Amino acid sequence: MPVGRPKSFDETEVLERAMDLFWEFGYSALSVSELLAHMGISRQSLYDSFGSKRGLFVRAVHHYRDTQLTNALALLERDEPPLENVKAVMRYFEDLANDRRCRGCLVANTLVELGPHDSEIAQLLQATLDLLQVGLEEALRAAREQGALPATKSPREVSRALLNALIGLAVAGKLKQGPEAYRDIYSGTLSMLD
Amino acid sequence: MPVGRPKSFDETEVLERAMDLFWEFGYSALSVSELLAHMGISRQSLYDSFGSKRGLFVRAVHHYRDTQLTNALALLERDEPPLENVKAVMRYFEDLANDRRCRGCLVANTLVELGPHDSEIAQLLQATLDLLQVGLEEALRAAREQGALPATKSPREVSRALLNALIGLAVAGKLKQGPEAYRDIYSGTLSMLD
């Protein structure tokens, strides 16, 4: 295939479908044939555009970061009291846990499946999580300066514990525990801010 | 093979090895051949004793519950102030996160990989997590009665949030974030008890 030949498909749309598949089923359990069937492209197009199944996966994780995670980060930028923004992020993950597809968070899923065995992917995941942790820490620091968070609380510790709870919620959402359980997790976790 | 023929291997030892493998690599990524090579038994023995790869996996999760989880539950039974026992459970999972093998918790790993796709395994995982949640809730209730936990805190909510944080720690341990990060998660999470 000559270099530069125009693509016969919409790359963003194809990445969106790949992201949805990996998000729901993970990496190892999906065969290339299953991916192609759901993405609606040929094997040759996959290799031309993404290099390999792994290459497609890395691009799908980038796409997840640029869409889903960006939505969560935008909640921290709203012109609201910073603790309200932090609670909105927690609520965002509570909604993920209640999603009937039980797919959790692609980053958390990938951490479990590939994190320890693939250092390039581990770095990408760490960088993605760091974005959220830093955003939470800044909001907590602002809240403490405004007197909304007790001076005894460490924004660093609480932001790391909150990020950890978000990861937990993403995983706990794999079981259909029902909205009451996730609401309790939400309330209990936010009692860190008291 | 005649029924009742004595086994040519120590079943507990073989289950221990299978548990270790699934814990580190997950279910889908391991082939039966890899399992057999590490377990040191024949294919026929695997099918005779466990029925299938899935049957072996279910037994390995039971074995995990009866060993690893039982160790965590025993911490709650110590003759110490109940909040100290709760902190010891949290510390137990912090140690898991620091383990250089980065394998997290078999229950959390399996939740991510198989939870939404296999209802029998989901039930087994839920029952296993419930044991820990109930133990934490009882300890928190006792702590509140003794005045060690503020009366405004709900043992149900806090126990669910703590269990969620333990799951998060198991997953976060898949990245080598270093002891400082896990210590911050420990301290931030336990500020729920203030």
- Asked, for residue A115, whether it belongs to a domain, the answer is yes
Inter-residue contact A60 to A18 (CB < 8 Å): yes
- Asked, for residue A16, whether it belongs to a domain, the answer is no
Residue to mutate among B105, B112, B136, B190, with most A CBs inside 10 A, is B112
H or E stretch covering B172: helix B155-172
* Interface subset of A 19-58, CB within 8 angstroms of B: 24-26, 28-29
Look-up: residue for tokens 């890395």? A58
Closest Cβ–Cβ partner in A156, A159, A168 for B164: A168
Weakest mean pLDDT among A121-125, A133-137, B6-10: B6-10
Mean pLDDT along residues A14-38: 91
* Interface subset of A 75-114, CB within 8 angstroms of B: 101-104, 108-109, 111-113
Residue to mutate among A121, A128, A169, A174, with most B CBs inside 10 A, is A174
d(CA B180, nearest CA chain A) in Å:
10
- Asked, for residue B109, whether it belongs to a domain, the answer is yes
- Asked, for residue A128, whether it belongs to a domain, the answer is yes
* Backbone φ and ψ of B186, nearest 5°: -60, -55
Q: How many domains does chain B have?
A: 1
| Residues A64-96: tens digit of each pLDDT | 999 988 999 999 999 999 999 999 999 999 888
Contact with chain A for residue B127, Cβ under 8 A = no
Structure tokens at A19: 């992201």
B123: nearest CA partner in chain A? A175
- Asked, for residue A20, whether it belongs to a domain, the answer is no
- Asked, for residue A4, whether it belongs to a domain, the answer is no
- Asked, for residue A7, whether it belongs to a domain, the answer is no
- Asked, for residue A174, whether it belongs to a domain, the answer is yes
Could you report the predicted ipTM of this complex, rounded to two decimals? 0.86
Structure confidence at residue A2 (pLDDT): 47
CA B153 to each of CA A94, A140, B145, B147, B186: distance values in angstroms, whole numbers, following the listed order: 20, 22, 11, 11, 19
CA proximity to B68, closest of B25, B17, B105: B105
Inter-residue contact B157 to A131 (CB < 8 Å): no
Query: B119: domain range?
Result: 60-193
A124: nearest CA partner in chain B? B175
**Torsion sign across C-alpha atoms B68, B189, A123, A70:** positive
Q: What is the CATH number of the domain that holds A132?
A: 1.10.357.10
The angle subtended at Cα B146 by Cα B144 and Cα B147, nearest 5°, is: 65
The DSSP result for A19-48, as a single string, is HHHHHHH-STT--HHHHHHHHT--HHHHHH
Report how far residue A115's alpha carbon sits from residue A26's, in angstroms, rounded to the nearest whole number: 12
Mean pLDDT along residues A121-147: 93
B6 falls in which pLDDT band (50, 70, 90)? low
Mean pLDDT along residues B164-170: 90
Chain mean pLDDT for chain A: 89
